[in-house]
């Protein structure tokens, strides 16, 4: 008799302890926030997508290590679209219909992002786009270069990394510093490249420049002889290579091999870590329009972007510790992506069990982002649902050393 | 730069890329002659040659030794591919065998992507001389290496088939497999040798073109298709035919891309393919009976 009573007491005590210990097992007191992320981690744009993912996941890790967003863990559903537009659209739809995420971010490849923006709008899912083309935010037909889009989607926001700010910086630099009057233009034949060509055609005359030649190449091309030969036959003061793929670096290399000595200007992807690692030694003398996190010595940055310095340093430290290589602007971009998502979720404070309501709240918070200080972008989300990314002109010196060119 | 200089530049570009297509075509021919299989993994041999060379070179081995190791490993792999994948199903219809080689090429590419990722890699130029100037056109010294290596491979292959006993045994197997085996030639070994030889040549071609055009896990299929076209339009049975086929393909591609639009680079080989097959079934230099080297 005595034993049975004692036994049940012990069991009751154990049950009590068990119940008390259960909450201590999980660090997050609230249900997780599930967001979707799809990007090109392999394929021709894989070098960019995987670098963006690395920065993004670093940001997510930091957020969760600090207790999540108001006690909610940030859970990411991740897909690789292999740089294939069809696969990218399918992944996007899957995130909405099957995974039922609160919001989606990702898609460096403009072609995929442009296709998915209307889907986000229709399904009322907030989408933080990261691809370059402004057609991601602009409703079809509602954007006439060189002005801003006149009508934008309600549910789509993006970082303003489009070619317009970059080419305008390039024109100003070429005219002022290099004395350029006529230039030859090379772009890749992707959606991004074609969009950049449109932007160039709409803006170069306003800058007082003349266009000597326009050439294109495929992202998997490795022989640029025909294009460079045609450029050589014309009269030009400089070449602008607007490229987001390794083939662009080959254009520079082969241009120099073919005896072209005039200045050549390219865009930020040329200083991405994989390209510098493989082709960096052939890129000496290239002028590049880069972003703040690319400049190794942050003291050289203009005053207005100095607030970004501590965040850039944080990313550099984090990327070196986690991935053991120097952080580039794409890692910083991905990191900002995570922080912007977290910032919107924090202000929206949605209830993850009420999907439609949560998505609407997140959309509202995303579009009213103010005073964001990132490692790559900074400022307020504008009326066109974009967040500005500052640019700097540099020159690649010997041993891939960055020299401030402006 | 005058039109003459431009044309000369296109011609040089065409000959160097045409040499690679020719070597790919030779690989197809060698395998087809003995096994009756169109090996679409041929392009992956070139990819492996380039990638493995960069891997060894990155580890600190001297350049020539890295390439040698890459070629030997790819040759062994080619022989393994025949023995393990093709030989066991050799009695299946030819179409099945071709599909299997397609499958093998996808598998090889997939494994390469897993091991080495999507990064493209490069080797330094073989000689430090840079470039030669011919009027206003520029000849990259590496292009001379490419053309020279192709010529050397073609000559060695010709001497092998014409003057050595194993080479003649090879030709015998290609003419009549049953008759050859009755004469004591082990035809299954000929199949492995064919694959190994095609793999080694492909690997060397892949390595020698890497300093100019970089290499990555994805370059195989494009090269295989162009090599296949070069082999068909050259007439599948003669070394000189395939050399002509490859060079023709490369030159027409370079002129088309140069004079019309660079987007035509991939369209032109396929158009030539259609035209040649329409008018000369046996290819430019070949006869109707394929199989006789």
Q: What is the pLDDT of residue B269?
A: 85
Q: Stretch A234-238: mean pLDDT, rounded? A: 94
Contact of B268 with B252, CB cutoff 8 Å: yes
> Of the candidates B4, B95, B107, which has an alpha carbon nearest to the alpha carbon of residue B48?
B107
Among all residues of chain B, which has the CA nearest to that of A215? B262
- Sequence-distant (6+) residues with CB within 8 A of A200 are A163, A167, A185, A187, A211, A240, A242
Q: Answer whether residue B85 shows pLDDT above 60.
A: yes
Chain B positions in Cβ-Cβ contact with residue A251 (cut-off 8 Å): none
Angstroms from A251 CA to nearest CA on chain B: 11
Q: Residue A325: left (phi > 0), alpha (psi -120 to 50), or beta? A: beta
| Identity of the highest mean pLDDT range in A11-20, A221-230, B24-33 | B24-33
3-state secondary structure B35-62: HCCCCCCHHHHHHHHHHHHHHHHHCCCC
Chain B positions in Cβ-Cβ contact with residue A258 (cut-off 8 Å): 9, 131, 138
Q: Which of B257, B265, B268 to substitute to test the interface with A, most A CBs within 10 Å?
A: B257
The length of chain B in residues reads 293
Per-residue confidence at A91, pLDDT binned at 50, 70, 90? very high
Question: CB–CB of B9 and A225 under 8 A?
Answer: yes
Question: CB–CB of B6 and A233 under 8 A?
Answer: yes
Structural domain boundaries of chain A? 33-162+307-390, 164-301+392-404
- Enumerate the H helices of chain B as residue ranges: 3-35, 42-58, 63-81, 94-116, 141-163, 165-175, 177-182, 187-213, 220-234, 239-255, 267-279
Q: What is the pLDDT of residue A26?
A: 55
Which A residues in the span 215-274 are in contact with B, Cβ-Cβ below 8 Å?
Answer: 215-218, 220-223, 225-227, 229-230, 232-233, 246, 250, 257-259, 274
Q: What is the pLDDT of residue B291?
A: 43
Question: CB–CB of A278 and B122 under 8 A?
Answer: yes
Question: CB–CB of B130 and A258 under 8 A?
Answer: no
Q: Largest alpha-carbon pair distance within chain A?
A: 107
Angstroms from A352 CA to nearest CA on chain B: 36
Would you state the CATH architecture of domain A164-301+392-404? 3-Layer(aba) Sandwich (3.40)
Question: CB–CB of A223 and B17 under 8 A?
Answer: yes
Q: What is the pLDDT of residue B285?
A: 60
At B163, list the tokens.
């003057």
Question: CB–CB of A222 and B213 under 8 A?
Answer: yes
- Sequence-distant (6+) residues with CB within 8 A of A202 are A145, A146
Chain A positions in Cβ-Cβ contact with residue B219 (cut-off 8 Å): 220, 222
At A13, list the tokens.
């005590």
Q: Which of A47, A229, A257, A270 to substitute to test the interface with B, most B CBs within 10 Å?
A: A229
How far apart CA B145 and CA B128 sit, in angstroms, is 12
- Contact pairs from chain A to chain B, CB under 8 Å: 84
Among all residues of chain B, which has the CA nearest to that of A235? B1
Chain B positions in Cβ-Cβ contact with residue A40 (cut-off 8 Å): none
Range with lowest mean pLDDT among A22-26, A207-211, B83-87? A22-26
Q: Stretch A11-40: mean pLDDT, rounded? A: 73
Q: What is the pLDDT of residue A24?
A: 46
Comparing CB atoms, the residue among A220, A233, A278 nearest residue B218 is A220
> Of the candidates B191, B202, B192, which has an alpha carbon nearest to the alpha carbon of residue B74?
B202
Chain A positions in Cβ-Cβ contact with residue B12 (cut-off 8 Å): 225
> Of the candidates A116, A129, A201, which has an alpha carbon nearest to the alpha carbon of residue A163?
A201
CB burial of A303-312 (b: ≥16 within 10 Å; e: otherwise) equals eebeebbebb
Q: What is the pLDDT of residue A2?
A: 53
Q: What angle separates helix B63-81 from helix B42-58, to the nearest 10 degrees?
A: 140
Comparing CB atoms, the residue among B10, B133, B213 nearest residue A226 is B10
Q: Which of A109, A225, A269 to substitute to test the interface with B, most B CBs within 10 Å?
A: A225
Chain A positions in Cβ-Cβ contact with residue B9 (cut-off 8 Å): 225, 229, 258
What is the CATH topology of the domain spanning A33-162+307-390?
Rossmann fold (3.40.50)
CA distances, B191 to each of B78, B153, B159, B173, B231 (Å): 10, 20, 19, 9, 19
How far apart CA A116 and CA A133 sit, in angstroms, is 13
Q: Stretch A107-131: mean pLDDT, rounded? A: 94
Q: What is the pLDDT of residue B289?
A: 47
Q: Answer whether residue B257 shows pLDDT above 90.
A: no
CA distances, A31 to each of A27, A350, A352, A404, B222 (Å): 11, 11, 7, 48, 49
Q: What is the pLDDT of residue A251?
A: 94
Place of tokens 């071709």: B98
Per-residue confidence at A203, pLDDT binned at 50, 70, 90? very high
Q: What percent of chain A is predicted at pLDDT more than 70?
A: 93
Q: Answer whether residue A6 shows pLDDT above 80.
A: no
Chain B positions in Cβ-Cβ contact with residue A50 (cut-off 8 Å): 118
C-alpha B29: how far from chain center: 10
Q: Stretch A23-38: mean pLDDT, rounded? A: 80
Chain B positions in Cβ-Cβ contact with residue A220 (cut-off 8 Å): 218-219, 222
- Sequence-distant (6+) residues with CB within 8 A of B1 are A229, A232, A233, B136
What pLDDT, in 10s, does the model give residues A323-348?
Answer: 998 888 899 999 999 999 999 999 99
Q: Which of B123, B138, B220 to substitute to test the interface with A, most A CBs within 10 Å?
A: B138
Per-residue confidence at A20, pLDDT binned at 50, 70, 90? low
Contact of B153 with B23, CB cutoff 8 Å: yes
Question: A395 vs A303, which has greater pLDDT?
Answer: A395
For B118-151, give the DSSP string: T--B----SSTT-EEEETTEEEEHHHHHHHHHHH
Angstroms from A20 CA to nearest CA on chain B: 46
Among all residues of chain B, which has the CA nearest to that of A231? B1
Burial of A25 (0-12, 13-18, 19+ CB in 10 A): exposed
Q: What is the ipTM of this complex?
A: 0.77
Q: Which of B253, B262, B266, B267 to substitute to test the interface with A, most A CBs within 10 Å?
A: B262
What pLDDT, in 10s, does the model give residues B22-75?
Answer: 999 999 999 998 888 899 999 999 999 999 999 999 999 999 999 999 999 999
Angstroms from A372 CA to nearest CA on chain B: 33
Q: Identify the contact set of chain B against chain A, taking CB-CB distances under 8 A.
A: 1-2, 5-6, 9-10, 12-13, 17, 113, 117-122, 130-131, 133, 136, 138, 140, 212-214, 218-219, 222, 254, 257-258, 261-263, 265-266
Angstroms from B31 CA to nearest CA on chain A: 27
Q: What percent of chain B is predicted at pLDDT more than 90?
A: 51
Q: Stretch A29-45: mean pLDDT, rounded? A: 91
How far apart CA A330 and CA A39 sit, in angstroms, is 13
This model's pTM is above 0.80: no
Chain A positions in Cβ-Cβ contact with residue B261 (cut-off 8 Å): 216
Question: CB–CB of B6 and A217 under 8 A?
Answer: no
Q: What is the pLDDT of residue B90?
A: 86
In the 8-state DSSP scheme, what is residue A307?
A: G
Q: Answer whether residue A3 shows pLDDT above 90.
A: no
Comparing CB atoms, the residue among B131, B257, B266 nearest residue A226 is B257
Q: Which of B4, B118, B137 to substitute to test the interface with A, most A CBs within 10 Å?
A: B118
Chain A positions in Cβ-Cβ contact with residue B265 (cut-off 8 Å): 218, 221, 226
Question: CB–CB of A223 and B122 under 8 A?
Answer: no
Angstroms from A373 CA to nearest CA on chain B: 32
Between CA B135 and CA B147, with CA B141 as vertex, the angle to 5 degrees is 100
Q: Answer whether residue A16 shows pLDDT above 90.
A: no
How far apart CA A348 and CA A112 sit, in angstroms, is 27
How far apart CA A131 and CA A109 sit, in angstroms, is 6
C-alpha atoms less than 13 angstroms from C-alpha of A177 in its C-beta half-sphere? 17
């Amino acid at each position: 008799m005595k034993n049975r009573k004692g036994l049940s007491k012990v069991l009751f005590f154990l049950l009590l302890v068990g119940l008390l210990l259960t909450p201590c097992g999980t660090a997050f007191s609230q249900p997780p926030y599930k967001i979707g992320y799809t990007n090109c981690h392999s394929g021709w744009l894989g070098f960019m997508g995987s670098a963006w993912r690395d920065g993004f996941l670093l940001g997510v890790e930091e957020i969760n290590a600090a207790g999540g967003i108001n006690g909610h863990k940030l859970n990411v559903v991740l897909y690789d679209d292999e740089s294939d537009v069809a696969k990218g659209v399918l992944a996007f739809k899957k995130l909405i219909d099957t995974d039922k995420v609160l919001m989606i971010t990702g898609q460096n490849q403009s072609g995929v992002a442009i296709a998915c923006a209307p889907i986000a709008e229709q399904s009322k899912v907030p989408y933080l786009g990261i691809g370059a083309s402004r057609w991601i935010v602009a409703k079809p037909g509602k954007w006439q270069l060189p002005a801003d889009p006149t009508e934008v989607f309600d549910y789509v926001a993006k970082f303003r990394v489009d070619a317009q700010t970059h080419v305008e910086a390039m024109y100003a630099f070429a005219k002022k510093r290099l004395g350029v009057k006529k230039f030859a233009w090379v772009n890749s034949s992707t959606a991004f490249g074609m969009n950049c060509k449109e932007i160039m055609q709409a803006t170069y005359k306003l800058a007082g420049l003349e266009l000597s030649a326009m050439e294109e190449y495929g992202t998997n091309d490795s022989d640029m002889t025909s294009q460079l030969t045609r450029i050589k036959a014309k009269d030009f003061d400089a070449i602008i290579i607007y490229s987001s793929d390794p083939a662009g670096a080959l254009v520079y290399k082969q241009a120099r091999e073919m005896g072209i000595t005039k200045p050549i200007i390219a865009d930020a992807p040329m200083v991405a870590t994989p390209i510098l690692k493989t082709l960096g030694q052939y890129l000496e003398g290239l002028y590049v329009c880069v972003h703040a996190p690319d400049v190794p010595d942050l003291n050289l940055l203009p005053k207005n972007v100095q607030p970004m310095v501590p965040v850039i340093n944080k990313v550099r430290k984090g990327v070196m510790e986690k991935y053991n290589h120097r952080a580039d602007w794409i890692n910083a971009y991905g990191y900002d992506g995570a922080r912007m998502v977290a910032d919107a979720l924090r202000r929206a404070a949605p209830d993850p069990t009420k999907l439609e309501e949560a998505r609407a709240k997140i959309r509202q918070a995303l579009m009213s982002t103010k005073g964001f200080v990132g490692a790559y972008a900074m400022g307020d989300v504008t009326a066109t649902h974009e967040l500005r990314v500052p640019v700097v002109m540099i020159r690649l010196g010997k041993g891939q050393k960055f020299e401030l060119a402006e | 730069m005058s039109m003459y200089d431009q044309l000369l530049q296109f011609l040089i570009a065409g000959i160097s890329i045409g040499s690679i297509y020719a070597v790919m075509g030779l690989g197809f021919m060698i395998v087809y002659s003995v096994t009756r299989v169109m090996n679409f993994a041929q392009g992956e041999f070139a990819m492996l040659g380039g990638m493995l060379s960069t891997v060894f070179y990155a580890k600190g081995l001297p350049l020539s030794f890295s390439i040698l190791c890459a070629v030997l490993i790819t040759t062994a792999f080619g022989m393994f591919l025949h023995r393990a994948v093709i030989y066991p199903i050799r009695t299946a219809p030819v179409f099945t065998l071709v599909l299997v080689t397609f499958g093998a090429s996808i598998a090889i590419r997939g494994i390469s992507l897993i091991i080495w990722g999507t990064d493209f890699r490069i080797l330094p130029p073989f000689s430090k001389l840079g470039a030669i100037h011919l009027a206003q056109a520029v000849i990259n010294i590496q292009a001379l290496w490419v053309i020279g290596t192709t010529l050397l491979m073609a000559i060695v292959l010709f001497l092998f088939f014409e003057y050595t006993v194993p080479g003649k045994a090879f030709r015998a197997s290609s003419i009549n497999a049953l008759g050859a085996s009755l004469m004591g030639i082990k035809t299954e070994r000929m199949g492995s040798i064919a694959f190994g030889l095609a793999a080694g040549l492909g690997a060397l071609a892949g390595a020698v073109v890497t300093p100019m055009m970089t290499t990555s896990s994805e370059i195989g299929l494009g090269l295989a298709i162009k090599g296949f076209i070069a082999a068909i339009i050259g007439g599948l049975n003669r070394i000189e035919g395939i050399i002509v086929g490859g060079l023709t393909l490369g030159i027409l591609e370079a002129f088309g891309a140069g004079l019309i639009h660079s987007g035509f680079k991939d369209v032109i080989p396929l158009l030539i393919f259609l035209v040649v097959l329409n008018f000369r079934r046996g290819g430019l230099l070949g006869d109707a009976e394929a199989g006789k080297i």
